[in-house]
Amino acid sequence: MNDYTIVKTRLKSGHVAVRPMPDGSGYKTRAHRLAEHFGRWVHRWKGYTMSSKRAAEFEKLYAEGWDASTIMSELRPPREVI
């Protein structure tokens, strides 16, 4: 299951929009929080716009299990499962 999609934008050369998919709970998902950390919400694109370099960093950290705080705007490392 994809938790987000990445689409090209016409804003600037090399910029993309990360569109996190809602999970139905009404809360921001991990993809929303990470995308918010790396980009900026643009309603026209219905996603967070960022450079392709930052999008690659977003994808890498998402795959590794990282999270971000909405309030503090800081990255949180993956939790260890015991």
Mean pLDDT of 2-31: 90
Q: Decide if 81 is inside a domain.
A: no
| Cα angle for residues 19, 20, 22 (degrees, 5° grid) | 130
- Would you say residue 12 has pLDDT above 80? no
The reported pLDDT for the residue numbered 18 is 96
More confident residue, 44 or 80: 44
Q: How many domains does the chain have?
A: 1
Q: What does the pLDDT look like over 35-77, one tens digit per residue?
A: 999 999 999 999 999 999 999 999 999 999 999 988 887 899 8
- Would you say residue 16 has pLDDT above 70? yes
More confident residue, 48 or 79: 48
Structural domain boundaries, residue 34: 4-74
Q: Decide if 24 is inside a domain.
A: yes
Q: Decide if 32 is inside a domain.
A: yes
Q: Decide if 79 is inside a domain.
A: no
The residue with tokens 């991990």 is 30
Three-class SS of the chain: CCCEEEEECCCCCCEEEEEECCCCCCCCCHHHHHHHHHCEEEHHHCEEEEEHHHHHHHHHHHHHCCEECCCCCCEECCCCCC
